[in-house]
Chains A and B, each alone.
Chain A
Amino acid sequence: MKSSIYYQTKKVAINFLVHLFLLSMVLLCLYPLLWMVASSFKTQATIFSDISLIPRQFHFENYYLAVSKSDFGRYFLNSVFYTISVVFGIVVISSMAAYAFSRLKFPGRNIIFTVFIAAMMIPIPGSFVALFILLNKLHLRNTPLGYILCMISVGLSMSIFLLKTFFDKMPRELEDAARIDGCSKLGIWRHVALPFAKPALAVVIVFNALNVWNEYVLALIIFDSKNLMPLQRALMMFRGEFLTNYPLLMAGLTITALPIIIVYLFMQKYIVKGVASQTVFG
Chain B
Amino acid sequence: MRIKSTLENYFFILPAVIIFAIFYIIPFLWVFQLSMFDWDGILPTKTFIWFQNFKEIVIQDPSWWQAMRNAGYITLIALTFQNAVAFLLALACDREIKMKNFYRAIFFIPPVLSEIVVGMAWRFIISDVDGANIINRMLVSVGLPQLVHNWLSDPKTALTTVALVHSWKGFGWGFLIFLAGLQTIPKELYEAARVDGASAWDYFKKIIIPLMVPVIVVVAILTILGTMQAFALILGLVGGEFAGHTSVPVLRILAVMRDSSRFGYACAQGISFGAILVAISFIQYRLSKRYREA
Q: Which A residues fall within an 8 A CB radius of B?
A: 15, 18-19, 21-22, 25-26, 28-33, 35-36, 48, 51, 92-94, 96-97, 99-101, 104-107, 112, 116, 118-127, 129-131, 133-134, 138, 149-150, 152-154, 156-157, 160, 165, 185, 189, 199, 203, 210, 214, 235, 250, 253, 256-257, 260-261, 264-265, 268, 271-272, 275-276, 278-282
Contact = CB atoms under 8 A, between A and B. Distances in A.
B108 A264 contact: yes
Nearest to A162: B218
Interface of B: 6, 8-10, 12-13, 15-17, 19-20, 22-24, 26-28, 30-31, 41, 85, 88-89, 92-93, 95-96, 99, 101, 103-114, 116-118, 121-122, 124-125, 130-132, 168, 176-177, 179-181, 183-185, 211, 214-215, 217-218, 225, 229, 250, 253-254, 257, 263, 266-267, 270-271, 273-275, 277-278, 281
Contacts, number: 221
Nearest to B6: A106
A276 to B, nearest CB: 5
B117 A268 contact: no
A124 B269 CA distance: 10
A92 B12 CA distance: 10
- How would you classify the secondary structure of chain B's contact residues: helix, strand, loop or mixed? helix
Given A130-B26, A282-B181, A36 B277 contact: no
Given A125-B270, A126-B270, A165-B218, A134 B26 contact: yes
Nearest to B173: A207
Contact of A281 (B28, B99, B215): B215
A199 B180 contact: yes
A77 to B, nearest CB: 19
A76 to B, nearest CB: 15
B130 A48 contact: yes
Given A97-B12, A156-B19, A22 B218 contact: no
B180 A18 contact: no
- How would you classify the secondary structure of chain A's contact residues: helix, strand, loop or mixed? helix
Given A48-B124, A106-B6, A22 B96 contact: yes
A46 to B, nearest CB: 13
A105 to B, nearest CB: 7
9 contacts: A32-B117, A97-B12, A121-B278, A126-B253, A131-B23, A152-B19, A253-B113, A272-B104, A282-B181
- Which 8 pairs show the lowest CB-CB distances between chains A and B? A122-B274, A130-B27, A153-B23, A100-B12, A282-B214, A32-B121, A97-B16, A51-B132
A265 B183 contact: no
B250 A112 contact: no
B114 A214 contact: yes
Nearest to B279: A121
Contact of A96 (B15, B85, B92, B131): B15
A259 B114 CA distance: 13
Given A18-B92, A156-B16, A272-B104, A32 B266 contact: no
Contacts of A133: 30
Given A121-B281, A210-B112, A257-B112, A97 B27 contact: no
Contacts of A256: 114
